[in-house]
C-alpha cells in the first residue's frame, strides 16, 4: 500500500487544509481582509489550520464551533488548545444551531465590519470552488507520484467534500482514468447521497467560475459508504484498534475522526472485496493528528 503524506504539510497547518487555504487566504489578502471567519466541529482541523494560517499572514480569526452545550465549552485539548494559543476568537454554538451556521458566520462578519474591520468568510472545511483548487493541484502532484504504480485506487477520507471535488476534477482534467488511476472516498459522516450532491455542487461551481470542461458526472464520484460507525468524531473500539495496529506495524499515526476511520473502512472493504481495488492501493493521509490529543 502506497501512502501520500499530506499529514506532513507543515505542523500547524498540516493535512489537507493548507492546500485549500493557500487559495482561499490569497483571495482574503487580495480583498484586504483583517479577519477570517470560519466554522466547524469543536475539534475542527480546518478551523485550527485557518486560525494559524491567518496568524501567519497577519489576520485575526473568528471560529464558530459546534459543541453539545455552548454554556459549558469543552476543555482546551487538541485543536482547541491550539486555537486558544494562537488567539482565535471562538464562538460556541449548539448542534441545532449548526444548521444556521451560514447566517451565524454572516452575523460575525457584520460585527467585524461594525468594528471597522474587513471579514473574509470561509465555509466549513474550506470546501468551496476556490478551496478545491488545492486538491486539483494535489492531483497534478499525484500524476507524478503515481507513475509506475498504475493501476491504482487511491482512497481518502471525506468530511465536507472539498478534497474529493478537487481530486475528481483533477482526475478528469489530467486523464487519470485512461492511466488506470482511480479515487474512492470513505465518508466519515453523512452518507453517499449527501456527498454525491455536495461534491457535484462544488464541481459545478468550479465549472461555472472557470469553465474547465472537466464534465464531472455523478458516476465519477466513488463514495465507500457504510463506515461512519457510531457517527462523526465517535470511535468504535475496532477503529481505535486499527489506529494502534498501523502505528505499531508502520509507525504511521492516524487520527480518530478522519484518517483512522477512513483507513479502517478501507481495510474492511479490502477484506470484503479484495478485487475491488486492484493490485495496488493508495491512501492519502490528510492529517488531523491533533484530534488524537482530545
Ligand X SMILES: Cc1ncc(COP(=O)(O)O)c(C=O)c1O
Binder of ligand X out of 158, 169, 206, 281 (CB under 6 A): 158
Quick check: 16 binds ligand X (CB under 6 A)? yes
Of 166, 234, 162, 171, the C-alpha closest to 195 is: 162
Within residues 43-62, the interface with ligand X by CB under 6 A covers: 45-46
Closest CB 123 distance from ligand X, rounded Å:
10
CB of 51 vs ligand X, minimal distance in Å? 14
206 binds ligand X (CB under 6 A): no
Per CB under 6 A, 38 contacts ligand X: no
- Is position 159 an interface residue for ligand X (rule: CB under 6 A)? yes
Total length of the chain:
294
Residue 256 binds to ligand X (criterion: CB under 6 A)? no
Q: What are the cell numbers at 11?
A: 505542523
125 near ligand X (CB under 6 A): yes
Question: CA distances (Å), 147 to each of 143, 152, 199, 234, in order?
Answer: 7, 10, 27, 37
Active site residue 127: no
Residue 136 contacts ligand X per CB under 6 A: no
C-beta of 199 vs 214, nearer to ligand X:
199
> Which grid cell sits at 134?
488545492
288 scored as a contact of ligand X (CB under 6 A)? yes
Q: Which one is catalytic: 44, 127, 160, 235?
A: 44
Q: Which stretch binds ligand X (CB under 6 A): 68-76, 86-94, 151-159, 200-208?
A: 151-159
**Binding residue (CB under 6 A) for ligand X from 119, 123, 161, 170:** 161
Show which residues are catalytic: 44
Question: Given the rule CB under 6 A, which residues bind ligand X?
Answer: 15-16, 45-46, 125, 127, 157-164, 255, 258-259, 286-288
Amino acid at each position: 500500500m502506497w501512502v501520500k503524506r499530506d499529514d506532513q504539510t507543515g505542523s500547524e497547518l498540516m493535512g489537507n487544509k493548507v492546500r485549500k487555504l493557500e487559495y482561499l487566504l490569497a483571495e482574503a489578502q487580495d480583498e484586504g481582509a483583517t479577519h477570517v471567519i470560519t466554522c466547524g466541529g469543536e475539534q475542527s482541523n480546518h478551523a485550527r489550520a485557518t486560525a494559524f494560517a491567518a496568524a501567519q499572514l497577519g489576520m485575526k480569526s473568528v471560529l464558530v464551533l459546534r459543541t453539545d452545550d455552548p454554556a459549558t465549552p469543552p476543555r482546551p485539548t487538541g485543536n482547541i488548545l491550539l486555537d486558544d494559543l494562537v488567539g482565535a476568537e471562538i464562538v460556541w454554538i449548539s448542534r441545532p444551531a449548526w444548521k444556521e451556521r451560514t447566517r451565524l458566520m454572516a452575523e460575525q462578519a457584520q460585527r467585524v465590519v461594525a468594528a471597522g474591520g474587513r471579514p473574509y468568510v470561509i465555509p466549513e472545511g474550506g470546501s468551496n470552488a476556490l478551496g478545491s483548487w488545492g486538491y486539483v493541484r494535489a492531483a497534478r502532484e499525484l500524476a507524478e507520484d503515481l507513475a509506475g504504480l498504475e493501476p491504482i485506487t487511491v482512497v481518502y477520507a471525506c468530511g465536507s467534500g472539498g478534497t474529493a471535488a478537487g481530486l475528481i476534477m483533477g482526475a478528469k482534467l489530467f486523464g487519470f482514468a485512461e492511466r488506470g488511476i482511480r479515487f474512492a472516498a470513505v465518508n466519515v459522516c453523512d452518507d453517499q447521497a449527501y456527498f454525491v450532491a455536495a461534491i457535484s455542487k462544488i464541481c459545478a461551481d468550479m465549472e461555472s467560475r472557470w469553465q474547465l470542461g472537466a464534465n464531472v458526472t455523478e458516476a465519477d464520484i466513488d463514495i465507500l459508504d457504510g463506515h461512519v460507525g457510531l457517527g462523526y468524531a465517535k470511535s468504535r473500539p475496532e477503529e481505535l484498534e486499527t489506529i494502534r495496529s498501523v502505528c505499531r506495524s508502520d509507525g504511521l499515526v492516524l487520527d480518530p475522526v478522519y484518517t483512522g476511520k477512513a483507513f479502517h473502512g478501507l481495510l474492511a472493504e479490502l477484506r470484503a472485496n479484495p478485487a475491488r481495488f486492484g493490485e495496488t492501493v493508495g491512501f492519502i493521509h490528510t492529517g488531523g493528528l491533533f484530534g488524537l490529543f482530545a
